Chain A
Amino acid sequence: MKIAVASGKGGTGKTTLALAMAEAMAEGCTLLDCDVEEPNCHLFVDVEPWQELPVAVSIPEFTDNGDCDGCGRCVRACRFQALARLGKRVLVFPEMCHCCGGCVLACPHKVLREVPFDIGTLQFRHGPGFELISGVMNVGYAMAPPLIRQLKRHIPPEGLVIMDAPPGTACPMVTTVRNNDFVILVTEPTPFGLHDLKLAVATLQETNLPCGVIINRADEGVALIRDYCQEVKLPVLLEIPYQREIAESYSRGGSLLTVFPSLRVSFRTLLTTQIPALLQAEGRL
């Protein structure tokens, strides 16, 4: 089963929860850090990677061999303004390119060809019980989806997979949650938390993905989220109390399970019983 941990708002506790769930499930569980712009799961798994794989995308390269007649078909084919034609020359802006290959196909003179362009690495670590695979995007590159897609190709055929999604509801989040069996939305009981939770729920409705909510820092104002969830018939899976000790432990690279050992059982129940039951009730399993 594949379960993504996502949230519209950043800083709600996705990584804390994804790590704690992977730790609670341990053997046979794989954690994917899909927050490739700012991966941080590995900070809590204090070992060096046993494997690192480079990830490249294909971008066009212009060959100035005199065959270009400046027709501009490549520039018109590009939806991302990644090319500039100057007379009978073409300039390429790799950071703008979405690697669709359209310009190469559009060029009748074969002066554009695809070449690899490094965008990041995949790091593999043996965590405490679980396996961790992190996508690490190169500084200066802004397009996360190609790296996330490469990362997801390493999902093992069996066992539980937990994906720590990038914050927000844009392409990196959608790329991460796509093809998961269930999405856990982490939120906090604040107006911001509620606002961005609504955005995330709307995004998941568009992609027809089942989801449930974990309310983190459940304290004053928790009714705000509970009422909304009840209203839109969204299951509240768990509430994590608001405690300073959790933040202190996190800041030292510690696990949520150290502060709340009882959550180990809660997470196991959630992942092995509660979520499968929800999926079954919806006829998805």
Chain B
Amino acid sequence: MKVALTSRGNNLDAALDSRFGRAANFLLWDSASGAVEVLENTQNLNLAQGAGIQSAMRVVENGAKAVITGHCGPKAFRVLQEAGVKVYLTQAKDGHEAIRLFKAGELKEAAAADVEGHWT
């Protein structure tokens, strides 16, 4: 299963980006092989509006079945939910910690968005 992690950098050592829609990058982690693919999010990061929606579409199109991030707004959550992508919210400091918590079953699936749109 592919899991999209929001990241400040381009590998699992980098800090987890607490924002979903305007995350710096998405790390597409394959839970079976452990392989990590980097999806840049520069285009959505700079959108005037709708970054959450477009970012959600981007991770869905790239085959992610789950998202691990800090916070998720209502529009992004709606897209992910409609696409059947599970959302996990965590305060983990980096990609390694997020994956460890995920594997240990310590991340709880979010039932709703946890922040308003355009939060900072």
Q: Which residues of A contact B (CB under 8 A)?
A: 75, 80-82, 84-87, 89, 91, 93, 96
Contact = CB atoms under 8 A, between A and B. Distances in A.
A80 B47 CA distance: 9
Interface in B23-60: 47, 49-51, 53-54, 56-57, 60
Contacts of B78: 91, 93
B71 to A, nearest CB: 19
A85 B57 contact: yes
A93 B54 CA distance: 12
Interface string B60-102: 1000000000000001001100110000000000000000000
A130 B53 CA distance: 47
Given A81-B47, A86-B82, A86-B83, A93 B57 contact: no
Contacts of B51: 81
Contacts of B83: 86-87
A93 B60 CA distance: 17
Given A81-B47, A86-B60, A93 B82 contact: no
Contacts of A84: 53-54, 56-57, 79
Nearest to A96: B50
Interface of B: 47, 49-51, 53-54, 56-57, 60, 75, 78-79, 82-83
A216 B4 CA distance: 56
* Most chain B CB inside 10 Å of its own CB: which residue of A81, A85, A91, A96: A81
Contacts of B54: 81, 84
Contacts of B82: 86, 89, 91
A162 B51 CA distance: 39
A86 B57 contact: yes
A139 B49 CA distance: 19
A82 B79 CA distance: 12
A95 B75 CA distance: 10
A271 to B, nearest CB: 39
B5 to A, nearest CB: 21
Given A86-B57, A86-B60, A81 B49 contact: yes
22 contacts: A75-B57, A80-B49, A81-B47, A81-B49, A81-B50, A81-B51, A81-B53, A82-B50, A82-B53, A84-B53, A84-B54, A84-B56, A84-B57, A84-B79, A85-B57, A86-B83, A87-B83, A89-B82, A91-B79, A91-B82, A93-B78, A96-B50
In order of increasing CB-CB distance, the 8 nearest A-B pairs are A81-B50, A84-B79, A86-B83, A84-B53, A84-B57, A81-B53, A81-B54, A96-B50
Given A86-B79, A86-B82, A80 B50 contact: yes
A251 B53 CA distance: 43
Nearest to A85: B57
Nearest to A75: B57
Contacts of A93: 50, 53, 75, 78
A93 B77 CA distance: 12
A75 B57 CA distance: 10
A32 B120 CA distance: 36
A5 B75 CA distance: 37
Contacts of A96: 49-50, 53, 75
Contacts of A85: 57
Nearest to B83: A86
A162 B85 CA distance: 53
